[in-house]
Amino acid sequence: EPEVTQTPSHQVTQMGQEVILRCVPISNHLYFYWYRQILGQKVEFLVSFYNNEISEKSEIFDDQFSVERPDGSNFTLKIRSTKLEDSAMYFCASTPPRGEPLHFGNGTRLTVT
């Protein structure tokens, strides 16, 4: 069964540095998402992406965040200048049409020191 893949599984970075989290969604899916989960807290929506543009974003997704689909397969989340509070598990997900269940990747654990 096809899966969403995310790399790296764990990223450690220093405060103020830029990070790029990578995802390869399932190939015939059209909608892509980033979620995050701070340790001990709930899974929070960050952004959704469809047809090469952001379709919806949360208040968490401020100017330091950006997403891109640089080629036909990758979907990236960039954090421009990381803060300590960005430390979390970041999940990529995809769905065929909207409203279908999310297919999640294994997540990238981001640790900002």
Partner 1 sequence: AQRVTQPEKLLSVFKGAPVELKCNYSYSGSPELFWYVQYSRQRLQLLLRHISRESIKGFTADLNKGETSFHLKKPFAQEEDSAMYYCALSPSGTYKYIFGTGTRLKVLA
User: Which chain residues interact with partner 1 by CB under 8 A?
Assistant: 3-4, 31, 33, 35, 41-45, 48, 50, 55-56, 58, 91, 98-99, 101-107
Nearest to 86 by CA among 59, 104, 109, 67: 109
Among all chains, which residue has been given the structure tokens 């989290």?
21
Give the nearest distance from C-beta 57 to partner 1 in angstroms.
9
Closest separation in Å from C-beta 77 to partner 1? 15
Looking at beta carbons only, is 33 or 82 nearer to partner 1? Answer: 33
CA distances in angstroms from 90 to 4, 20, 28, 55, 99, listed in the order given: 13, 11, 22, 19, 21
**Nearest CA among 103, 91, 106 for reference residue 27:** 103
Is the CB of 27 or the CB of 41 nearer to partner 1?
Answer: 41
Q: Closest CB to partner 1 among 61 and 82? A: 61
